[in-house]
């Protein structure tokens, strides 16, 4: 599976009001491993950044004057992301700006070029309800070193987000089946037919069940009673 972790920096907060992209950073993952095949552009937005935006990314208007315009890199960018799963933190913001840039060039919307867009902010809110889920907060919570992040930068933030995403989805590692990894240095992996085995069912003890219920109650309390199992149980009762 090819995944691209993507981040942008912009002249301001509103693509609809004319703000533009000034930086795109992309980090490639293949089978959840960093490949080093990254993509990075600084762009001339043909307008100045707002003062508040400058405080966030620190990229001066003068620095961007001789950088390529989005139209000059769009073909390379779209070829790079083509068909991949795109991972973005607060995807609505970045995709909104990408859609606006593409619209100005008469191109289809961004999601028409890629497989899917995964929003790590939505993932984090589901996993950590009621907590701060910005990139810095997630780095701290998940043990990702962000000590070099004094200002926002698209490539640096994409690299940090790649580590955050891998940590957020760490439990999926055991569930992933990589067809391309079937042949290892030791030869093909042997497949065992388990259909003839009578596998025992080991049920939880009373103590384990009580501990499990306590964890569910804590999660339910933290989410304000919006947990999925509460809705499922209510539907079942109805």
Alpha-carbon Rg for the chain, nearest whole angstrom, is 22
Instruction: Tell me yes or no: is domain 2-168 CATH 3.30.420.10.
Output: yes
Cα 86 versus chain centre, distance: 7
Domain ranges of the chain: 2-168, 212-237
Helix and strand element counts for the chain (H, E): 9, 8
Residue 79 neighbours by CB under 8 Å, 6+ apart: none
Task: Specify the pLDDT at position 6.
Answer: 98
Burial class (CB in 10 A: 0-12, 13-18, 19+), 64: buried
Task: Specify the pLDDT at position 175.
Answer: 46
Q: What is the DSSP letter of 223?
A: T
Task: Specify the pLDDT at position 20.
Answer: 98
Can 152 be counted among the known catalytic residues?
A: yes
Phi and psi based region of residue 83 (left: phi greater than 0; alpha: psi -120 to 50; beta: remaining) = left
Q: What is the DSSP letter of 115?
A: S
Strands 21-30 and 2-10: antiparallel
The torsion angle over the Cα atoms of residues 94, 99, 105 and 107, rounded to 10 degrees, is 130
Task: Specify the pLDDT at position 181.
Answer: 46
The dihedral built from the CA positions of residue 39, 42, 45 and 51, taken in this order, carries a sign that is positive
Cβ proximity of 135 and 7 under 8 Å: no
% the chain with pLDDT above 90? 67
In the three-class reduction of DSSP (H, G, I as helix; E, B as strand; rest coil), residue 225 is classed as coil
Cα 93 versus chain centre, distance: 13
- The pLDDT tens digits for 21-65 are 999 999 999 999 999 999 999 999 999 999 999 998 999 999 999
Q: What is the DSSP letter of 179?
A: G
Query: Which whole-number Å values give the CA distances from 7 to 51, 79, 116, in the listed order?
Result: 20, 17, 15
- Stated length of the chain: 238
Determine which one of 31, 57, 89, 152 is catalytic. 152
% the chain with pLDDT above 70? 83
Closest among 133, 132, 137, 136 to 156, alpha carbons compared: 136
List per-block mean pLDDT (blocks of 10 residues) for the chain, which spans 238 residues: 96 96 97 96 97 92 97 98 98 98 98 97 95 95 84 89 94 50 52 69 82 78 71 64
**The token pair that represents 114 in the structure block:** 């890629």
Task: Specify the pLDDT at position 230.
Answer: 66
Query: Which whole-number Å values give the CA distances from 34 to 87, 161, 162, 190, in the listed order?
Result: 13, 12, 8, 28
The torsion angle over the Cα atoms of residues 118, 124, 129 and 130, rounded to 10 degrees, is -120
């Amino acid at each position: 599976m090819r995944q691209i972790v993507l981040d942008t920096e912009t002249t301001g907060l509103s693509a609809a009001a004319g703000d533009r992209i000034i930086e795109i950073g992309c980090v490639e993952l293949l089978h959840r491993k960093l490949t080093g095949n990254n993509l990075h552009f600084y762009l001339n937005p043909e307008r100045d950044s707002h003062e508040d935006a400058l405080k966030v990314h620190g990229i001066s208007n003068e620095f961007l004057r001789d950088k390529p315009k989005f139209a000059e890199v769009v073909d390379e960018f779209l070829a790079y992301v083509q068909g991949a799963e795109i991972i973005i933190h607060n995807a609505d913001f970045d995709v909104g700006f990408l859609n606006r840039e593409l619209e100005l060039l008469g191109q289809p919307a961004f999601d028409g070029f890629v497989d899917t867009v995964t929003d790590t902010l939505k993932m984090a809110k589901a996993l950590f309800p009621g907590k701060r889920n910005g990139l810095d907060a997630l780095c701290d919570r998940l043990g990702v070193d962000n000590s070099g992040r004094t200002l926002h930068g698209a490539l640096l933030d994409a690299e940090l987000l790649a580590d955050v995403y891998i940590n957020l989805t760490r439990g999926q590692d055991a569930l992933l089946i990589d067809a391309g990894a079937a042949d290892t240095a030791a030869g093909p992996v042997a497949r065992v037919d388990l259909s003839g085995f009578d596998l025992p069912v080991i049920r939880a003890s009373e103590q384990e069940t009580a501990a499990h219920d306590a964890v569910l109650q804590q999660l339910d309390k933290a989410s304000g009673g919006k947990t999925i199992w509460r809705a499922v149980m209510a539907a079942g009762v109805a």
